[in-house]
Structure 1
Amino acid sequence: MRTWEMPYLRLILQIVASHATSWDHWWTYEGFSGPAFWGLVNQDWKMCSKGQQQSPINIIPNLLLYDPFLKPVTVSKTAVSGTLINTGQFLMFDLDPEHNCTIYSGPLNSYKYKASKLILRYGIKNYMGSEHTIDGETFSGEIQLYGYNMNLYNNFSEAMRKPNGIVGIAALIEIDTFTNSELRYLVSAASEVIYKEKSTTVHSLSIRQLLPDTNHYVTYDGSFTFPGCYETVHWIVMNKPVYINFKDMKLLRDLQRTESKARDPLLLGGFGRAVMPLNLRSVRTNINFKPKSSPSCRSMQRKLHYKANPWRKLNRISDS
């Protein structure tokens, strides 16, 4: 840390303490409350600065490891209700705990995870809204669905700090001429939460239909992309995007970080954590070529290459 930064950190700590400010409300994506300082101002967030398996990451197609044992991920068809909240940091859908929407199979072994929270990220400019990137390219937005391990833990708060605690499913968002029907439902509800700390109830949302219809994905071990950056998340990045049209994206871009109407409003969108170093982690995928050998002789293969195609989804191009 640079010497001149120390007085500012002390001042921040004094302000938070004197106003009994919750750390959950204090952090932002810029300045002295931004990512560079998350792990310095709060000891409970030390992984934000010291962790070696942090998220998001840049997915490099020609470094993917094909794993033939990765099964499709299953998200149950159960419709859910919950609360849509403008936290001032992002737009979050907090699922009611009574629901029974589960996530299982794929890279999750025999564990079942209960869907708990959904974060919707988007950019103020096109192709500048996602946290995960593919071959250095950002996307218009990103849906992040979090679930907790219901076999090992009682709730999300307990699981988020524990081994095998959390699954994170990321679906990148692309602008097109139409909007996914469930995403449109959320966008419509978002008109009720224009300002910070506003919330509204959402009924009968299908998480399964909100996610792209694909069995293919990329997976790696990582962390939350917000404080405290706990390295307990099995990330699954879907191979197809979710679509939104310009009209609905514009509605999202009207959301604000201010608590009421302001002459110069601070917009909610356009913020996220920068990609983090991979640090020798393996990034696996079940995107495969047609097998050239007997199915009984499956093995992990390194000599497979992928790229972001014109629709910017991962795709096979060669087996050189």
Structure 2
Amino acid sequence: MRKTAVLAGGICAPDERPGHAARAHVTEDACDDLELQKVSAWLISRPLSMHFTRAVDDAVRHVLDGARTGRFDLLSPEVDSDERASVGTKLQYRVLNELGLYKEPPLDTRILHVPVELKATIRSNWMIPTEGQCQISILIQVDTAMRRHRAFLMRTHRAWLNEGANKDGKRGIAAEALRRFSIPLVAWTPLPAEPLARLTPEQLAVVFAPRVGQTARLTALFGFLPDTVIPRSSIETVCFGNRDPLRRARQAKDAVRSTSGLEVLVGTWVQDRIRAEKLGFDLKDGAWVATRATGIVASIESTPLHPGIW
């Protein structure tokens, strides 16, 4: 059952739970909640978009486990609903790590000595447990279809939760309460691109062809995606279940040059990384790119300067 009216200044009491007294209190607007404002100030002083993007991307990749499964899409039929739901659990610890926080009772962590709950969802709402009612929560939403995320900070008063509860007693946040009483932390922000998602079904069939060697798979991958930065995780996904895929990727450099006319640059090699930067490619964290433009750079660098030019 949805809330039909959500107001500040009303009396609120959390649901009863064993060992804890349900104390009635007055709900406050976000601007009047001193603890909420203190936690908000601490959070927004940090590059949250960067921290949350890394945390979400890492949590999703951990669930997909591409290096062992060959999966790269959370919406794939090969990923069951329980696995998708586990993204939220994985994300909690990654957010703590990104923010330099620790797991501390009575909730998930403390910020400036204020207990804070961390809730993440891949759906349209967050399910707040009884222990999180009337507490301050960081709310992260992951849109798997659009590959993006956003976040809010909110004190999730019981009075601002929907009446219907699931079998675990968790309740969703009333849409009006989220709109009126939450503090936006991160607007919709894209997650890092997954190059494998750009391949057509026909190309995927070639790149993931069974009983085909890793070098052949990677040669096809680089040929299908010229001038595209390919992260290490994507290479490991293409070579899933095999040992030392990065060595195979290096071995594919000559094959890629002969079949596609592309030069493969490796982010872990300083010289390649510098050349990639001059071409506008960021090969951080050991990413790769296959490009036709390296010859242009080499030509420019080898051309002597005209006398008088400096």
Q: TM class, shorter-chain normalised?
A: under 0.3
> Greater relative contact order (Cα 8 A, min sep 6): structure 1 or 2?
1
Tell me which structure has the larger Cα radius of gyration: 2
- Which has the larger helix fraction? 2
- TM-score (norm. length: structure 1): 0.19
